[in-house]
């Protein structure tokens, strides 16, 4: 059955991007199905790569669908220039949940990503959903490869947007811009204003780190 995107997003103030919330170790099915969707995060234009992330948990979907979703997600995350790594090397940890629930005319397929910093504080919740048309007693019966691919692409895009706004991404872009500005101006210490202006024009470091192999999620120890 074909998946149809459901656009249910708003616009969030920038101050909310990095707000720290309480720490939740588990995402319940009820919470993921009923929670208001996160507002759309506007990409900063900086590379999300410096904010390396490890997916430590993915729950909710039947095992075959979960495996398929993660394969799509890994590939899409790499396309979005997200650095996927293990827990030891990550700046952020991602814990996910996928759920499907019935609605009139079909079902909704939704994801939730809770993003934690190294202090185990939740830095951001990302969630969105797509609409599925059809009729079935079990909403998972309406979920096929195209639906999972659409959901994975949307979640990877949202994760990349969030990571591009992190202090790690902004700091790396600013350092690179400062170096470029100094080289162009022939000065060893460009002014803070020039460095700031140059950083806004930097979308990614000039010499990005090699693209890591996409990693499937690994259960936390």
Cut 0.85: pTM above it: no
Same domain, 128 and 29: yes
Domain hosting 186: range is 168-200
Look at residues 221, 218, 184 and name the one whose alpha carbon lies nearest to residue 54. Answer: 218
Decide if 189 is inside a domain.
Answer: yes
DSSP for 120-140, please give it.
S-EEEEEEEEEEEES--SSGG
Question: How far apart are alpha carbons 85 and 210 in whole angstroms?
Answer: 12
Decide if 219 is inside a domain.
Answer: no
Q: Using one digit for the tens of pLDDT, what is the confidence trace for 33-85? A: 334 445 689 999 999 999 999 999 999 999 999 999 999 999 999 999 999 99
Decide if 62 is inside a domain.
Answer: yes
Decide if 209 is inside a domain.
Answer: no
Residues whose CB falls within 8 Å of the CB of residue 170, separated by 6 or more in sequence, listed in order: 44, 46, 199
Same domain, 103 and 122: yes
pLDDT at 6: 34
Same domain, 178 and 140: no
Question: How far apart are alpha carbons 221 and 200 in whole angstroms?
Answer: 39
> Reduced to 3 states, what is the DSSP secondary structure of residue 80?
coil
Same domain, 127 and 173: no
Same domain, 101 and 179: no
Same domain, 120 and 191: no
Question: How far apart are alpha carbons 164 and 110 in whole angstroms?
Answer: 23
Q: CATH number of the domain that 126 lies in?
A: 3.40.50
pLDDT at 192: 52
pLDDT at 149: 97
Decide if 183 is inside a domain.
Answer: yes
> Reduced to 3 states, what is the DSSP secondary structure of residue 57?
strand
pLDDT at 162: 97
pLDDT at 187: 52
Count up the domains in the chain and report the number.
Answer: 2
What residue ranges of the chain have pLDDT lower than 50? Answer: 1-37, 188, 200-216, 221
Same domain, 103 and 195: no
């Amino acid at each position: 059955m074909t998946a149809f995107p459901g656009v249910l997003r708003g616009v969030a103030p920038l101050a909310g991007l990095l707000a720290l919330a309480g720490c939740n170790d588990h995402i319940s099915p009820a919470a993921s199905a009923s929670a208001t969707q996160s507002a759309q995060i506007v990409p900063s234009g900086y590379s999300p790569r410096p904010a390396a992330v490890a997916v430590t948990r993915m729950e909710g979907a039947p095992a075959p669908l979960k495996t398929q979703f993660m394969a799509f997600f890994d590939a899409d995350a790499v396309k979005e220039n997200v650095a996927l790594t293990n827990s030891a090397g990550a700046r952020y940890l991602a814990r996910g949940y996928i759920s499907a629930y019935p609605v009139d005319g079909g079902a909704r397929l939704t994801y939730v990503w809770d993003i934690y910093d190294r202090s185990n504080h939740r830095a951001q919740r990302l969630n969105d959903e797509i609409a599925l048309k059809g009729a079935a007693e079990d909403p998972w019966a309406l979920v096929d490869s195209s639906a999972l691919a659409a959901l994975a692409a949307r979640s990877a895009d949202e994760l990349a947007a969030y990571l591009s706004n992190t202090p790690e991404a902004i700091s790396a872009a600013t350092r690179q811009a400062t170096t470029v500005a100094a080289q162009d101006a022939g000065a060893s210490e460009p002014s803070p204003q020039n460095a700031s202006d140059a950083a806004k024009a930097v979308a990614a470091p000039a010499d990005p780190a090699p693209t890591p192999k996409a990693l499937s999620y690994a259960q936390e120890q």
